[in-house]
Structure 1
Amino acid sequence: MLSATAIWIAYLLGTAMVVLSMARIRFARMRFMDGVLIGHAYYICAPMLFILLHGSMPPDFLNTHAYYPFQDIAATAVVIGAIHLTALLHLVTRPGAPAIDRTDRRFLPFIVTIWLSSSAYGFLGSGIASGGHWYLAADAALASNPAFLLIKHVSNFARTAIFGVLVYCVAKGRISRLRAIGLGVVMAFFDLATTFNRITFVYLLIAVLLLYRRNVPMLLALATLVFTMIPTVSNMWPMFRGLVSTTDRSASAIAGAAATAFAHASEDKPLVLTLNGVFESINLVALNHIVRHAGERGLEYRPGEMFIRPVTFYLPKIVWAGRPDNFGTDLGYAINQDRHLALNSTLLGEPYINFGAYWWVGLAVLLLVYEALFRALGRRSQVVGYVGVFVGFAMWRFDPVFGIISMALLAVIIAALRVVPGRFTALPPRRRPSCVKCA
């Protein structure tokens, strides 16, 4: 059995490799694997540090065991192995030759229009606007309206892609950093109000980190924010969201919900649980459950499904009854016996349930294939690489299907802008690109 010292050494060495790899990211030529690396640092390296320091991660609402990193050696080996693997994959997939950039100047307003339209449809069509519960309303809309699922996919992609497009525009000197951040803040609050979703603020945080990655005072300010104010707000949000969704949404009701949620978030709890609202550390508890119970009923091995599902998810069951189901939903039922609960186990859970001890082979192949596809799609449109950064980041929270959906919608948008009259391709920026200052 590995000693605690050996685990710490392996973790610190791997994390150092990840940090050094992030320092080598080229702002002027960003790509999908950059986002995978950043997402890995956020959803794996950061929470694992606090789990190791605390010695455990409680299961919270999950009906499973707590994760003890120094006792659950198999799960810890997967986590630390993934840290080293991700840093290695980022190293071997170095940026290729500079691509010809013919990105249409209308890309930003076009993607914003798509996002606003799809978000408004989801807000109004699901019944959330008329006071429906944020989760139950969306679930009912998905069950009654087949088109709603497509709209949700489009909206989810667009809210992710917007931040990649904003960073691209700054890198190419199209807009200033402050304007990009201002637009991002407006979009994040709009998305919060219409979907009750916090992920947009995480995208905003990553965008700010990229835009100010050489500005030490800004980085220190962000670090202070992340470890002081954000944990409280993030832990308040689930309860606040649930209470607001079941009230009349008057000013007094909203104030009461905020007070109740704040009192709950202010209760004494271990730091590792406090930071769960920021880094979603609970996902590593779900991963531990998979490693401990893989092969048992409900978590049978499913070789290759992680490659089949992204290219067949759109097929109705009537066409192919054996189409692989959503793994997150199956995991939710396996742990909590709830068919409506989709759990995340980062990008590590599904490769493990597909290939067991050879999970690392499946994950490496998946990421290398996606990197190649994003490069092919972005040969004449560099904005694809910047969007790929946020897609790669988000895949640690979603699953491989999100990557395929994103690439398909990117291809449709690029094709549409090429055939719609009034196209303006990339021209020399009006001012010196911000990437000169930030690279």
Structure 2
Amino acid sequence: MTEQKTALQGLRVLEIGSLVAASSATRIMGDFGAEVIKIEPPSGDNLRAWGAVSPTGSSWWWQMQSRNKQLVSVDLKKPEGQAIVRDLARWADVVVANLRPATLRNWGLDYSRLKENHPSLVYVQITGHGLTGPYQDRPGFGNIAEAMGGIRYVTGYPDRPPVRTGVSLGDELAALYGVIGALTALRHRDNTGEGQLVDVALTESVLSLTEAMMPEYLNEGIIQERSGNQLLRAAPSGTYPTADGSWVAIGANTEGTFAALASAMNRVDLLSDPRFADNPQRVKHADVLDEVITKWTSSLTATLVLEKLTTAQVPAGLVMSAKDIAQDPQFLARDMMVRVPADQGEFVGMLGVVPRLSATPGRILLAGGAVGRDSSDVLQRVLGRSLIDIDRLKAEGVIR
């Protein structure tokens, strides 16, 4: 059987990054067939020690994050290590970097230096605050971006401190914008032959998701505050407890779905209540409406609540733990739980590929593995280095 083509087959990507944002961006490109070479220091990327660690000594997260990548370990503090990465950048169509801009400049690995010998290069640089402006030299992590980008301020309950979302939202959003920027720039390069710099700020990536928050302030001076589980602009939409200790999310904030919810609850009287006559009134009286819904959901098991709502075509879903997700028939049917071969032939469980393409679907060939797993192969195959030279570089600590 002929192997099915992938959408980004033939695209060459070099990752000069650490932790989450850059590596998530290149993981997505690798899922769709790009050839990805990841550079990490001889001590290994810090992500290897984040979270629960597998028997290999690296985190389970690392093994998913670095799937489909060729892992090359180079000491970038050494001039010869910097020269190796500059040579690899000439091979690449796209470079994705999230190290400090000053560090990249000092090492001669910034866009202005690399484009001198490679004008068609697309260079994605992910930073905390962007490459211009008064904050350009400040360090930034995802949690800082979530704070400054407005998400933390509006997340949580009004009588409690701001809270995080439970995942590295800022980093993952920046990764998505990095991929979008890279593919957009590649489209331009296809038409003109010209490369360019893609400047992705974590703060702006978060800010871009704040929906009506900024237009409402800029035009009317409205400052959005924390509102718990209530959707401020439409109702009912929230998370409600059930009799068996679970929680169910319900979104019935259109006229049709609200009528369906009232019917499912055997509360058609709600439809004639002037407090719930339309969306503005339901938003105004959302607390009262949530009490009614909570009384109903609390009298039933989650299974029965979902059964009634699904029959009535009301959007609803169980608030799922990792265990729930791993057993969910919908996620299983769409191959979102997969087992991938790793270095020693063992199989590692991880999430599948998103999104799904009908003609050129993504694929996962190999989990992330040991530090420097592919150093020798890449230097020999891509750069034409001899085995004697590679052995010398290892002996001198330039590569691992």
**Which TM-score bucket, shorter chain as reference?**
under 0.3
**Which protein, 1 or 2, shows the higher relative CO under an 8 Å CA cutoff with sep ≥ 6?**
1
Q: Would you tell me which structure has more helix in proportion to its own residues?
A: 1
> TM-score, normalised on structure 2?
0.23
Rg comparison, structure with higher value: 2
